[in-house]
Amino acid sequence: MKKEELKVVDEWDKTFKKSEEINHRKVTFINRYGITLVADMYTPKNIEGKLPAIAVSGPFGAVKEQSSGLYAQHMAERGFLTIAFDPSFTGESGGEPRYMASPDINTEDFQAAVDFLSVQENVDPEKIGIIGICGWGGMALNTASIDTRIKATVTSTMYNMSRVNANGYFDDADNEEARYQAKQTLNQQRSKDYASGNYERGGGTVDPDEENVPEFVHQYAVYYRGERGYHPRSLNSTDGWNKIGCMSFINQPICCYTNEIRSAVLMIHGEKAHSLYFSKDEYEKMTNNSKYTDNKELMIIPGANHTDLYDDVANVIPYDKMEEFFKEYLK
């Protein structure tokens, strides 16, 4: 396995303050497609021996300096060794061309994180969990469906990226004609990109002051474009994915066998989130006709919207519950 030579930032450039209770360093690891991923490792101070470990990623189009790093740092403060990683083709991680997404490769990214954690001298390989935020919540469920080394999974404010790409928001485009028109547009863009030799970017979130947009679109903008969460390496804070970057999700569904997940799963979502239907439907699918329902839970946060679970501004992320869940199932 040969790692790519990547430029990483050494100084602290997160959207949140560094905790005095943890040690931090950058690490790299390789997925089975040969892509080198960059992660921030958070280790609790003054704890020795082999620790339970958690890999964190998301939201979709974000970087590890945003929500995933925040979650990872909080869990490290509570006694877990954690990593927050940039997915393939994004952030500081490798992979060309840039700004592409893949249901297969992104699931592999989570599995590669488990590979890495499983061989660390200060990690107990029998005590590994994962946290997926937003679109990476769906990836986390997909990974838990295939990777039996994962003993506990948390999803926070999850999306199923295959469903939203194939069906549109709220399944409003869940018909053959709408999908055909979307595929027509995307394939015309492919030809255009190939002719020009460049991939056009789709644009990140809108300007926070833009009017006449759905409230959830405004909420994204306030986080990604404003002081709460702006980061120059984040696709959602800048020019977004390539226009064809998420195309493969349309006919490559994820979360097909979630009712076969034997390990523990905690799904967290805000009551007022536009995306709540993703968690409700995935939880129902996961527990329907399943022999493994005793360790599955859906936790709905009263009054919280989608991006309230991105940071600590609304003070609603249930870190205590997550700590309790991981300590129960990573033991």
Domain boundaries, the chain: 22-160+254-329
| Residues β-bridged to residue 82 | 42, 54
- Write down the CATH number for the domain with range 22-160+254-329: 3.40.50.1820
Query: To which residue do tokens 């999974």 refer?
Result: 153
In sequence order, what DSSP letters do the residues of 11-48 get, joined into one string? S---SSPPPTTEEEEEEEEE-TTS-EEEEEEEEETT--
Can you give the pLDDT at residue 120? 98
Find the helix or strand (DSSP H, E) in which 2 lies.
none
Q: Is the dihedral of CA 282, 288, 292, 296 positive or negative?
A: positive
Question: Using CA atoms, how far apart are residues 301 and 314, in angstroms rounded to an integer?
Answer: 11
In sequence order, what DSSP letters do the residues of 180-225 get, joined into one string? HHHHHHHHHHHHHHHHHTSPPB---SPPTT--SS-HHHHHHHHHHH
Can you give the pLDDT at residue 229? 98
Nearest to 69 by CA among 83, 80, 52: 83
- Residue 283's contacts (CB-CB under 8 Å, 6 or more residues apart) are 267, 296, 298
Can you give the pLDDT at residue 3? 86
Query: To which residue do tokens 């439907």 refer?
Result: 281
Each of the 331 residues of the chain gets a pLDDT tens digit; together they read 888 889 899 999 999 999 999 999 999 999 999 999 999 999 999 898 999 999 999 999 999 999 999 999 999 999 999 999 999 999 999 999 999 999 999 999 999 999 999 999 999 999 999 999 999 999 999 999 999 999 999 999 999 999 999 999 999 999 999 999 999 999 999 999 999 999 999 999 999 999 899 999 999 999 999 999 999 999 999 999 999 999 999 999 999 999 999 999 999 999 999 999 999 999 999 999 999 999 999 999 999 999 999 999 999 999 999 999 999 999 9
Write down the pTM of the prediction: 0.98
Per the CB < 8 A criterion, the answer to whether 164 and 64 are in contact is: no
| Residues β-bridged to residue 25 | 41
Q: How far is CA 193 from CA 134, 197, 200, in A?
A: 29, 6, 7
Question: Using CA atoms, how far apart are residues 94 and 5, in angstroms rounded to an integer?
Answer: 9
Q: Residue 14 burial by CB count (10 A; 0-12/13-18/19+): exposed, middle or buried?
A: middle
What's the CA dihedral at 140, 145, 150, 153 to 10 degrees? 40
Per the CB < 8 A criterion, the answer to whether 232 and 66 are in contact is: no
